[in-house]
Chains A and B, each alone.
Chain A
Amino acid sequence: MAEEVSSQMNSLSISETNPSSSATISLVSGDDIVFKVEPTIAKEMETVQSFIDETDGKITTIPLPNISSHDLPYVIEYCEKSIAGKITKEFEAEFVKKLNNEEVKELFLAANYLNIKKLLDFLSQVIADRIANKSVEYVRRYFGIENDFTPEEEAKLREELAWTFTGVDPDDEDEN
């Protein structure tokens, strides 16, 4: 993967396409790292594609200020697999294993920004998996959610929702 630091990102982004490089699209991360990708990959990223379409393909360098150079390779990797039709359960499991909670969130935001539906759905699932059957405190910690309830309000809510936390007796196996 070719990387080059571009100090004049703005000038790059409006520069006209030169014919020789029209084969690849340059994605510039928020910290000014350039990632060259095949146009097919750009197609997976709706945001990028619509940008290209709007300019009739004249612009091939696209700034992605919201995405860091740490996250972009993951996005590209996923898109590559997606195009190749190689998104399997195994691949997804491996993919997720590499990511910590914070990275999952950042990637999720990146996928949202780039509007990559498959990645978005996949990461939604990952997050749902990670918060399933966890305590309130865990979910708050996981997402850095600020508790904006007053202690009284929270106590009231917990009281109201007590019905969910009193477990149902495990009796089903005897029902036959």
Chain B
Amino acid sequence: MVSLPDELWSRILEIGIGNSTLTYKDLCCVSITSRLLRRLSSEHSLWNRLLSSDFPLSPSYFPSSSSSSSKSLYKLRFEIDKERKIAAHKRAILRKESQISEHSRRLHDIQKLVSQEKIKAIQTSHEFSHLLRVREASVALNVWQPEVVRGRQKQMVEQCGVPAESRIRTLEMELKLCKQQIMGLEKSHRDEKRRLDAAKKELESMKYHPLQEKKRVSGGENERIVKQKKLKNCNSLREKQYKTQ
């Protein structure tokens, strides 16, 4: 095994950071490999470069911070940025969740409409078949029938106050309309369901986290642990800063 002299290591790190092949993660990773590399990878110039490339918008207060290392400054910025990103992520999840509940509310509404429409259709078809019988009866009145039957038919025709013929046509129309309504509603139901499923899937992928995946049994507790960890991180960071000052 050939070992590389210091200046070559520095060159690799410099070039890697310079054209963004290597990131803060790589530098930290390299810094754990050995004492020599820990020293080389903590160079101010490397971290300053990362600072300006990764957080170009943050105001640079280098003069005052020259006492604390660029690496810890980077870490501080990184944590702030991470907080911001986590907050944004939480907001996004909330948005998605409200979107999902909106979808399910609409689905529910549609289902209600569908059942209403079905009831109406059933009623209409009942009336329709009744009227058909009335019409038959009124036709039958014109021919000779036994008196018993004739009396019943006459009663039926008289009970029906409306002119059967025109009523039948309106009912036919109404039934057709009902069917169309139901078909339309069912279609929008399917669409809405598809949107709901898509939103659910999105939410799932948003919630996915490679490190937390295994722990995601009890969501609430998990979040608390993360928070504690964050607090601890912040605290240790602060301590470190006190020490360096």
Contacts and interface: CB of A to CB of B under 8 A. Distances in A.
Contacts of A174: 88-89, 92, 95, 206
A149 B95 CA distance: 47
A164 B32 contact: no
19 contacts: A102-B1, A112-B5, A125-B15, A128-B12, A128-B15, A128-B16, A129-B16, A134-B26, A136-B33, A145-B37, A146-B34, A164-B78, A167-B211, A168-B82, A169-B209, A172-B85, A174-B88, A174-B89, A175-B92
B162 interface: no
Given A125-B16, A128-B21, A129-B16, 15 more contacts: A121-B11, A131-B12, A132-B21, A140-B34, A144-B1, A145-B33, A145-B37, A148-B35, A157-B31, A169-B85, A171-B85, A171-B86, A171-B89, A174-B89, A175-B92
A168 B54 CA distance: 14
Contact of A134 (B29, B37, B38, B85): B29
A161 B206 CA distance: 26
Contacts of B92: 171, 174-175
B211 A147 contact: no
A136 B206 contact: no
Contacts of A161: 28, 31-32
A23 interface: no
Interface string A88-130: 0000000000000010011011001000000011001101110
A132 B11 contact: no
B30 interface: yes
B4 to A, nearest CB: 7
Of the four ranges (under 10, 10 to 19, 20 to 34, 35 or more), the interface on chain A belongs to 35 or more
A175 B35 CA distance: 41
A51 interface: no
A contacts with B: majority SS: helix
A169 B89 contact: yes
Given A124-B11, A128-B15, A149 B2 contact: no
A157 B78 contact: no
Given A139-B29, A143-B4, A145-B33, A163 B75 contact: yes
A105 B2 contact: yes
A81 interface: no
Contact of B33 (A102, A109, A127, A147): A147
A139 B30 contact: yes
Interface in A137-161: 139-140, 143-149, 154, 157-158, 160-161
Of the four ranges (under 10, 10 to 19, 20 to 34, 35 or more), the interface on chain B belongs to 35 or more
Contact of A135 (B5, B29, B211): B29
B16 A132 contact: yes
A90 B36 CA distance: 35
B21 A144 contact: no
B19 interface: yes
A18 interface: no
Contacts of A167: 209-211
A38 to B, nearest CB: 28
A55 interface: no
A7 interface: no
A162 interface: yes
Contacts of B4: 105, 108-109, 143
B88 A175 contact: yes
Contacts of A169: 85-86, 89, 209
Contacts of A158: 32
Contact of A143 (B3, B15, B32): B3
